[in-house]
Chains A and B, each alone.
Chain A
Amino acid sequence: MRRDVFQAIADPTRREIINMLANRQLNLNAVAENFNISRPAVSKHIRILTECGLITIQHQGRERYCKANLKKLKQVADWAAQYRSFWNSKLDALENFLNEEQTNNL
């Protein structure tokens, strides 16, 4: 199975976990209590998020805390930005074409 940031956010439960952790650290139990799915299922999502580098688990005494590493998400934003810049360059070209067309018709 693929392990990258895109795989991490492909699943709605995982997106929800990322959102929960976006502003605060939570221990594993607190994360699991938010979902109506089995504890092993939550653990599996946590494991995938960890393998994708989006969250890290820190042991504090007997507690295990999850912390989000949101910088990883920049990959997704960068990817989208490439398409954005492609279409912007096409709009530049269209704009230039329209300007030339107008000049030629004067």
Chain B
Amino acid sequence: METQPLIVERTLAAPVSKIWQALTDNEKMKKWYFQLENFEARVGFEFEFVGQGRKGEKYLHKCRVTAVEFQKKLSYTWAYENYPGSSEVSFELFPEGDSTLVRITHSGLETMPDSPDFAISSFTEGWTYILGTSLKQFVEEV
């Protein structure tokens, strides 16, 4: 049984060029994403930002760019300071006429035990096996 990453997709009514700018131009990122000091879409670039938890707690996110394909794909590692583990987030853009399918893939979540915002104490390899099996339907119906 394989583990699967979390995938969230949406079609947005804008061309890939506009969305790529929104993902990589820090002035634009500030308006919808997070407040970064700097951002450069190049492999190896490291950045961090403070994200807020549900109870108002602040968590320092630490990220490093791992893949850049102009107007197609942007990936970076995603970890929390003072917590073990590291996951990876990828944004992929697929043109659909004047619109764009945006696919966010968050993999390696299972490496991040005791992630700050989750009450559950820990998680491990195998958590996503639920997401791709008949059990998924079962747990959603419960």
Chain A residues within 8 Å of B, Cβ to Cβ: 2, 4, 6-7, 9-12, 15-16, 18-19, 22, 70-71, 73-77, 79-80, 82-84, 87-88, 90-91, 93-98, 101-102
Contact = CB atoms under 8 A, between A and B. Distances in A.
Given A73-B135, A97-B22, A98-B18, A12 B104 contact: no
Given A71-B142, A73-B130, A80-B130, A95 B10 contact: yes
Contacts of A19: 1, 133, 135
Secondary structure of the B contact surface, majority rule = mixed
B59 to A, nearest CB: 12
B43 interface: no
Contacts, number: 113
Secondary structure of the A contact surface, majority rule = helix
B60 interface: no
A98 B19 contact: yes
6 contacts: A6-B123, A6-B126, A9-B124, A9-B126, A19-B1, A83-B106
